[in-house]
Amino acid sequence: MRHRAFFLGLMAIAGVSTLRGQSAVDVKRPEERARERKSIERRETQKARSTDLEIRGATAFKEEELRSVLKEQIATIHDFGLTAARADDAAFFLELFYRKHGYAKVDVRYSIESGSRLVLDVTEGPEAILGTINFVGNNHVPAEKLFEYAVGPTRERYSRLQKELPFVASDTEEGADLVHRYYVGEGYLDSAVDAPQYHFSADNTRVDVTIPVHEGRQYFFGDLIFRGNPIYDAATLRGQMVDLLSQPYTDRRVDDISRRLQAYFKARGYYAVKVEATGELEASVAGHVPVMVVISPGPVYKFDDVNVSGLRRLRPSYVRNRFASLQGKNYSPDVLDEKFRELMRTGLFNVLQINPQPEAGNYLRLDIAAEEAKAKEFGLSVGYGSYTGGIFGVQWADRNLFGYGRPLFTSIEVSQRGYKGEILWDDPHFLESNVELKIRLSALTFDYDGYSKFEIGERTEFSYNITKQYQIGLFASQRHDEIVKADINHALIGDRKYFVSSLGLFHTLDLRDSPVVPSRGFVFNQTFEVAASGIGSEIEFFRTTARASYFIPFGKTLLELGARAGLVRPLKESTSDITAIPIDERFFNGGSTTVRSFGERDLGPHDRNNFPIGGEFYTIFNVEYTFPLYGELQGAVFVDAGNLLPDADNPNFSDMRYGIGAGLRYKLPIGPIRLDYGVNPSPREHEDFGAFHFSFGFAF
């Protein structure tokens, strides 16, 4: 079906893989840890409520909140008994809580009554507000810059909209340390920041702070002096660090010199390279520090054999074949990392460790230790779409059929408009090449407005990635289509029962940062398809489509631009009316992913009963701007335009229809849930003023 809707998947998994690093350990999932933590907190809270504790003198906070603050200490008393040491701990942590909220003069004392009753007497004192922070000695850095570091520890607990912050001495001391770290990070290696000085107001409700700063000299990088066996000329090596050397001198950046040069040499096959960079601070001239770089490159290593261990069901040859193309080539950690990511993306592994081992003759043997993920999975999904209505689906997959690492996916979907079953076989490495083969078998029934169809067919597709961003492919398709019921005038439907055999090609240029949830980049794809009697087709046509989308981020907002077009033409010119192409082979326009001021498929030619009958040429143009509202909820405004012409004799941009609207988006890792309303600025007879759309995924 051509329509997208929102799904909530309830996966009953016989094995779903999780991506882990090359040296991952088996740890509990975040949701499991969160459940355990909440369970412990609930038990501690219950103990805190039931323990014999009295808090006297507290007016700034409710007793329930203070008990919650002390729940760990109270739980210990509940489990192991009340002692003076444990009572003192409770008093200390309660006092610490008050100080964190600006009660600098708070005093909490404890007493034990009747042997098992703990009493905490609180003398709150006034709440102190942080006043002015004055910096002394900051000759080169503006106070506004240092202020953000000084109040950072306190600001973490409060909104930036809160103008007055409580005075917390420990936070201010931590902030002074952050100021010192900032200076060191900016090359002021001799800098010092003294302990903050506090000035309380007469009523102790306001505290001004003075932070003395001793800046010292700011240091920068001087000459890089290469020793050992640099292999490459000094200018080439310095070129790898132009941005680094333009920054102030710090020990961390000296370490970065070693790391960058080591990565540079390793990327060129020097597996055992050693680089040691040392700053000569005592030899600095006018604040510029020379750096001595000693390079021991060692020999160039080449990839050799692969040893695989840990596999149970997956055949070792699958892993070996993925690395076969590397054998005899120079070692490269980037290439090795790409192979690692490629294998983890298959979902076949929980853990994958790739350890290069030097061998005689400057070769590297790859020892690969793997832990397989459970390959089979079963899932249920429920959803709703504004056009399809309610949807229920069942899915089953085996990602490692017969141990060859090739996945098989099956699904059955039932909606208020029809049924669909599909089997997909995916061979990403056809005949152990870089060509991907997909074979898809499907059968469906669907009730469109005005007619119902039955279809059964097969599609075979070969694709090849010329680069990471550019893919080309060929496909062959055979299917039987039948219009089983029609309310549209039969003269406008065309052939009601036919067999289509077609061949086609496609290419895609994808420069987006993510194909699922893009936040920047560009994508363009185009398809060409021919159905002809020479390859067994009962109808003959030529069809082409093209699509371009561009995603431009502006801070936390996103501007999306899209354009699409399609043309279908009969190969025989015996007739020129719309029925030369059967209705289900025509294009339709309008809906949640096209011009959103129209209902699904509702833009374009209609019969006299107002059922859409499709056309041979269409265009769609979309502009959408999304912006954050709260958490994962986003708002959107959009403008759509498009047309649908009944025949393609003269494809043009006439009779354009428009949509202006707004919507909501809820971000999910697999794409947004969308609710849109588009307004038709110039509705014609029998057209609605606008349309609501509830769907899933990006609009274009």
Q: Looking at the domain assignment, is residue 24 inside a domain?
A: no
pLDDT per residue as tens digits for the range 531-562: 999 999 999 999 999 999 999 999 999 999 99
Distant-in-sequence, close-in-space partners of 96: CB < 8 Å, separation ≥ 6? none
The answer to whether 17 touches 350, Cβ cutoff 8 Å, is yes
Our count of domains for the chain comes to 5
Is 323 found in the same domain as 470? no
Helices (H), 18-62: 30-50
Residue 681 has pLDDT above 60, yes or no: yes
- Residue 188 placed within a domain: yes
- For 168, phi then psi, to 5°, come to -130, 110
Residue type, 416: Q
Looking at the predicted structure, is the pLDDT value of residue 71 above 80? yes
DSSP code per residue over 214-280: E--PPPEEEEEEEEE---S-HHHHHHTTHHHHTSBP-HHHHHHHHHHHHHHHHTTT-TT-EEEEEE-
Nearest to residue 541, comparing CAs of 494, 483, 486? 494
Query: Could you tell me the pTM of the whole model?
Result: 0.73
Q: Which pLDDT tens digit goes with each residue over 619-671?
A: 999 999 999 999 899 999 999 999 999 988 888 888 899 999 999 999 988 88
- d(CA 528, CA 475) in angstroms, rounded, equals 10
- Among residues 235, 268, 296, which one ends one of the domains? 296
Residues 180 and 97 in one domain: no
User: Cβ(634)–Cβ(626) under 8 Å?
Assistant: yes
In a domain, 308, yes or no: yes
What is the token pair recorded at 686?
């029998």
- Give yes or no: residues 247 and 368 share one domain: no
What are the angstrom distances between the C-alpha of 29 and each of 33, 161, 352?
6, 35, 18
Q: Are 604 and 565 within one domain?
A: yes
Residues 581 and 663 reside in one and the same domain? yes
Q: How far apart are CA 419 and CA 421, in angstroms?
A: 7
Lowest mean per-residue pLDDT among 198-202, 571-575, 614-618 = 571-575
8 Å CB contact between 700 and 622: yes
Q: Tell me the CATH number at 313.
A: 3.10.20.310
Which pLDDT belongs to residue 79? 84
Collect all residues with Cβ–Cβ distance below 8 Å to 499 and sequence separation of at least 6: 478, 479, 480, 481, 536, 537, 538
Query: Could you tell me the two tokens for 5?
Result: 């809707």
Average pLDDT of every residue of the chain: 90
Closest CA to 399 of 410, 389, 386, 385: 410
Task: Tell me whether residue 412 is in a domain.
Answer: no
Per-residue confidence at 33, pLDDT binned at 50, 70, 90? low
Q: State which of 187, 214, 241 marks the end of a domain.
A: 214
Name the residue range of residue 200's domain. Answer: 129-214
Rounded Cα–Cα distance for residues 512 and 551 (Å): 8
Same structural domain for residues 207 and 227?
no
Residue 462 three-state SS? strand
The predicted-structure confidence for 160-180, as pLDDT tens digits, reads as follows 666 788 999 999 999 999 999
> Do 43 and 114 share a structural domain?
yes
Length of the chain: 700
**What is d(CA 50, CA 71) in angstroms, rounded to the nearest whole number?**
11
Helix (H) or strand (E) holding 665: strand 657-666
d(CA 208, CA 47): 41
Cα angle: 69, vertex 196, 212; to 5 degrees: 155
Whether 286 and 361 share a structural domain: no
Asked, for residue 402, whether it belongs to a domain, the answer is: no
The angle at the Cα of 147, spanning 143 to 152, to the nearest 5 degrees, equals 160
Largest interatomic CA distance in the chain:
106
**How far is the C-alpha of 472 from the C-alpha of 527, rounded, in Å?**
10
pLDDT given for residue 39 in this prediction: 60
Regarding whether 291 and 325 lie in a shared domain, the answer is no
User: Could you give the C-alpha distances from 319 to 15, 141, 308, 309, in angstroms and in order?
Assistant: 20, 56, 7, 10
Same-domain status, 42 and 106: yes
43 within domain boundaries: yes
Q: What is the DSSP letter of 534?
A: G
Q: What is the pLDDT of residues 104-153, one digit of tens each?
A: 889 999 999 887 889 999 998 898 999 999 999 999 999 999 999 999 99
Indicate if 606 and 667 belong to the same structural domain: yes
The predicted model gives 58-80 an average pLDDT of 87
Cα→Cα distances 143→91, 338, 369, 590, Å: 38, 46, 54, 57
Does residue 26 fall inside a structural domain?
no
Is residue 71 exposed (0-12), middle (13-18) or buried (19+ Cβ within 10 Å)? buried
Check pLDDT > 70 for residue 616. yes
Closest Cα to residue 253, out of 283, 204, 293? 293
Alpha-carbon distance 267 to 87, whole Å? Answer: 61
Q: What is the per-residue pLDDT across 186-199, written as a single tens digit (0 to 9) for each?
A: 999 999 999 999 99
Rg of the Cα trace of the chain?
Answer: 34
Which candidate, 542, 504, 541, 539, places its Cα nearest to that of 525? Answer: 504
Pair (600, 644) in one structural domain: yes
Nearest to 43 by CA among 22, 1, 72: 72
Domain-terminating residue out of 123, 144, 171: 123
The pLDDT of residue 10 is: 36
Cβ atoms of 604 and 660 closer than 8 Å: no
Environment class of 424 (CB within 10 Å of its CB; exposed 0-12, middle 13-18, buried 19+): middle
pLDDT higher than threshold 90 for residue 28: no
> What per-residue confidence (pLDDT) applies to 32?
57
Q: How far apart are the first and last CA of the chain?
A: 17
Q: Is the pLDDT of residue 4 over 50?
A: no
What are phi and psi for residue 354, nearest 5 degrees?
A: -115, 115
- Phi/psi for 165 (5° steps) reads -110, 150
Q: What is the dihedral of CA 575, 577, 580, 583, to 10 degrees?
A: -170
Mark out the alpha helices in 101-167 (DSSP H runs). 143-150, 152-155
User: Among 234, 236, 348, 221, which residue's Cα sits nearest to residue 291?
Assistant: 221
- In this predicted model, what pLDDT tens digit does every residue of 296-340 receive, in sequence order? 999 999 999 999 999 999 999 999 999 999 999 999 999 999 999
Q: Would residue 282 count as lying in a domain? A: yes
